[in-house]
Amino acid sequence: MAKFTPCMVKLNGKKAVVVGGGKVAYRKVQQLLSNQCKVKVISPDLCDELDSIIDQCDYENRSYVNGDTEGSFIVIAATNDKAINEAIYEDAQQAPFINIVDNQKLSNFFLPAVVDRGALQIAISTTGTSPIFTKKIREQLETLFGTEYEAYLEKIGELRQDIIKQAKNVSQKKELLEQLTDDELLEAFRENDETKIEAYISNIRKSLK
C-alpha cells in the first residue's frame, strides 16, 4: 500500500471538480467550500444535503463527459459507477490532486476529517481504509479539544508577536513564550474566566515594560 504524507495546502480560489451527487460528494463539497475553493459539481441527480448548498457551486446538471476536469487543481470522482470513476481518473491526469473515492490505488490525495479550532487544525485520515473509524476519532478529538482552543490560540498568537518584538533578551523571550502555553491560561479559557485571563495577560505585558 502506498504511504500518504500529511501536508497543509492553501486552497483559496483553486478550481475543484466533484463528479457525483450523493452524500459522499456532499461531504467532499462541504470541505472544499470551507477552504474557499471554486467548486464545480457535475451530476444529473443530487441528494437533499448537496442540493441545499449547490447554489454555492457551479453546477452542471448532467452526466460527466470527457474534458470536464480540464484546468482543475482538484478532481474528485464520487459516483457510484466504478467505470465512470476510472474514466474520470484517466481524464484528470493534468490535475495535481485526484481522489477516486472507491479506489485508493488511483487516488493521490484524500481530504481528511478535520477538527477545526481556528489556528489549530487537526486532520484525521485512514487514507480511505475506514471512513467510519476516521469519524469516530474525529468525534473523540472534538471533545478533547473544545471550542475554547480557538480563542486561546488567537490570543496567544497576538501576545507572541508582542513578545518577539519587545522582549529585552533571548532568555526573557523564551520564558514568556513558554508562559503562553501554560495550563493555567488554557484552563482560564476553558472556564471562560475573563478575570483570570486578563490577569494572566496583564502580568505578561508588565514583564515587557
Residues 113-144 have pLDDT tens digits of 999 999 999 999 998 889 899 999 999 999 99
Rg, Å, the chain Cα set: 22
Is the pLDDT at 11 greater than 80? The verdict is yes
pLDDT of residue 184: 94
What single letter denotes the amino acid at residue 173?
K
Whether 38 and 107 have beta carbons less than 8 Å apart is answered as no
Local structure of 122: helix, strand or coil: strand
pLDDT of residue 52: 98
d(CA 188, CA 196): 6
pLDDT of residue 1: 61
The mean per-residue pLDDT over the stretch 96-104 comes to 95
Q: Please tell me what DSSP assigns to residue 156.
A: H
Of residues 137, 78, 89, the one with CA closest to residue 112? 137
What pLDDT digit, counting tens, does each position of 161-193 carry?
Answer: 999 999 999 999 999 999 999 999 999 999 999
What single letter denotes the amino acid at residue 104?
Q
The mean per-residue pLDDT over the stretch 14-31 comes to 97
Sign of CA dihedral 180, 182, 188, 190: positive
d(CA 82, CA 101): 10
Q: State the pTM of this model.
A: 0.83
Local structure of 121: helix, strand or coil: strand
List of long-range contacts for 174-179, beta carbons under 8 Å, 24+ apart: 176/204, 176/207, 176/208, 179/204
Q: Is 163 exposed, middle or buried (0-12, 13-18, 19+ CB in 10 A)?
A: buried
d(CA 18, CA 94): 15
Question: Is 1-111 a domain of CATH 3.30.590.10?
Answer: no
The mean per-residue pLDDT over the stretch 92-121 comes to 95
Q: Are strands 38-42 and 15-19 parallel, antiparallel or unpaired?
A: parallel
Helices (H) and strands (E) in the chain, counts: 8, 7
CATH code for residues 112-145? 3.30.160
